[in-house]
Chain A
Amino acid sequence: MNDEPVAHGPMRNAPEPVPPARPPLAELLTQVARGDERAFEDIYDRISPAVYGLIRRILRDPAQSQEVAQEVLVEVWRSACRYDEHRGSAHAWIMTLAHRRAVDRVRSEQAESDRQARAAASANATPYDQVSEEATSRLESERVQRCLQTLTELQRQSVTLAYYGGHTYREVAKLLSAPLGTVKTRMRDGLIRLRDCLGVEW
């Protein structure tokens, strides 16, 4: 059965009114899992600012951030077939990968050689400081900022020091001079509050 309204009058010659909706990330990932490089390009265009931005926020150094972001994005290509949509969104899968890689880097290094490499790399790196201009991502980011403001000071600091700072919760407790148990709990109830504020449903 055709449910579409019958076009009449000027409607008949109207151009395609709605551009096709962007396919969900999970769908693209399924195509990528089958070796579709075009779909991967779409994923790249969609997710690389988030991946790069998060890694940059954690590592700070532009050259190193780029290196890790590239690794992560290639990893998305490589292991796309391991993504299981029953376990969470494609977006979360990719961002978790990005966060882990960045934090691994922070935790594994601090070695002299790495620091030197970093210093050398940042010397000739071009600064790319402009925030992604895509309107949707700006709105999204404002929404997250607003929700972060609804947290208590300790919740907010616990969450952001761990997530953006790449610190373990034990390190966070030290940084905040707060008991371990408190930090642990604040991370949990902070995230719960954030989740509810953002309307995350899983």
Chain B
Amino acid sequence: MSRKLRQDLHTLAGAYALNALRDEELRRFEQHLLHCDACVQEVRGMTETTALLGSAAARTPPPEMRAAVLDEVARTRQLAPAPPQPFVVTRSRWWQRGLVVVLAACLAALIALGAVVVDQRREISELRSEEQQIAAVMSAPDAEYVSAEPSEGVSVTAVASESMGSLVFTGQGLSQLDDQDYQVWLAAPDGSVRSAGLLTVGADGAVEPLLAEQLADAQTLAVTIEPAGGSPQPTSDPMMSMSIES
């Protein structure tokens, strides 16, 4: 049922890009976008397309408009730059609140994200994995890849295999931490959250693939920065999170 709903929402991408949604539907679709990387991607391409429809209607504006605009501009104060976007809104017990995610990706809708994914896939396969298990997840017939860039220069990839109940998480561009560790968490819908381990980040910012097994009902994967050695439960807000429900 909920999958049906999601699919239904997804078809609203066209109407959204045409600015043809209102009120409740608009709100619901924007909510949906927060959790669906593939939809964001699709909407982007469509918005570029509608912009071309827009400029196809170009016509010369009245000549006096230029002076009027420049005049007003000279009197108009600009907005201050937005504060650097936090990865995620600060709240405690984020894993119980359905998360305010800046980055989210839906494995369920998994649509090839284009070159990024292909590159990531190759990069992943080039990483020497000590554990055969990691290789097995990545080469599983039902392996699904999701990539995202939580911030400039940082990219992360999750590869999940439902049949194996496992997931491999990797990334690059992370800075090495002093006296702290990146810790990966899996959160279930009942609010429980468990550690999936600490990330090992190389001097070049590459993250060694991390294997998370027994995904079971895990719904969200998140990364926090914890005191060195990790914590039993997260003590800070996630720097990134992605939806992994199937």
Do the beta carbons of B78 and A81 come within 8 Å of each other? yes
Distance A69 CA – B45 CA, assembled complex (angstroms): 24
Report B-chain residues with C-beta under 8 Å of the C-beta of A163. Answer: 18-20, 50, 53-54
Q: Is residue B1 contacting chain A, with contact meaning CB distance below 8 A?
A: no
**Inside 8 A of B52's CB, which chain A residues have their CB?**
140, 144, 198, 200
Chain B, range 25-60, C-beta contacts under 8 Å to A: 41, 44-60
A162: CB under 8 A from chain B? yes
| Number of A-B contacts defined by CB within 8 Å | 208
A184 contacts across to B, CB distance below 8 A? 11-12, 14-15
Neighbouring B residues of A145 by C-beta, 8 Å: 56
Decide yes or no whether B204 CB sits under 8 A from chain A.
Answer: no
**A137 to B55 CA separation, bound complex (whole angstroms):** 8
Are A132 and B58 neighbours in the complex by a CB distance under 8 Å?
yes
B66 and A48 within 8 A (CB)? yes
B22 to chain A, nearest CB (A): 5
Among B12, B19, B79, contact of A81 (Cβ-Cβ < 8 Å):
B79
Contact call A57/B57, Cβ cutoff below 8 A: yes
B57 touches which of A50, A69, A77, A129 (Cβ 8 Å): A50
With a cutoff of 8 Å between Cβ atoms, the chain B residues found around residue A77 in the complex are 73, 76, 78
Given A37-B73, A89-B48, A187-B20, answer yes or no on A128-B59 (Cβ-Cβ < 8 Å): yes
Contact B65 A70 (CB under 8 A): yes
Decide: A194 near B60, CB < 8 A? Known: A81-B81, A98-B54, A184-B11.
no
A200 engages B49 (CB within 8 Å): yes
| Known contacts A77-B76, A91-B51, A52 near B65 by CB under 8 Å | yes
Complex formed: what's the CA distance from A79 to B73 in Å? 11
**Chain B 197-235 per-residue mask, 1 if CB under 8 angstroms from chain A, else 0:** 000000000000000000000000000000000000000
Q: How far is the CA of A81 from the CA of B17 in the complex (A)?
A: 23
Chain B residues with CB under 8 A of A130: 59-60
The answer to whether A188 touches B14 (Cβ under 8 A) is: yes
A79 and B78 alpha carbons, distance in the complex (Å): 6
Query: Does A82 have its Cβ within 8 Å of any Cβ on chain B?
Result: yes
Contact between B69 and A50 (Cβ–Cβ < 8 Å)? Answer: no
27 contacts between A and B (CB under 8 A): A44-B66, A48-B61, A49-B59, A49-B60, A53-B57, A56-B57, A66-B65, A69-B61, A69-B65, A78-B78, A80-B78, A82-B82, A86-B149, A88-B44, A88-B48, A95-B55, A99-B19, A126-B62, A137-B58, A141-B57, A187-B15, A187-B18, A187-B20, A190-B14, A191-B50, A195-B49, A198-B52
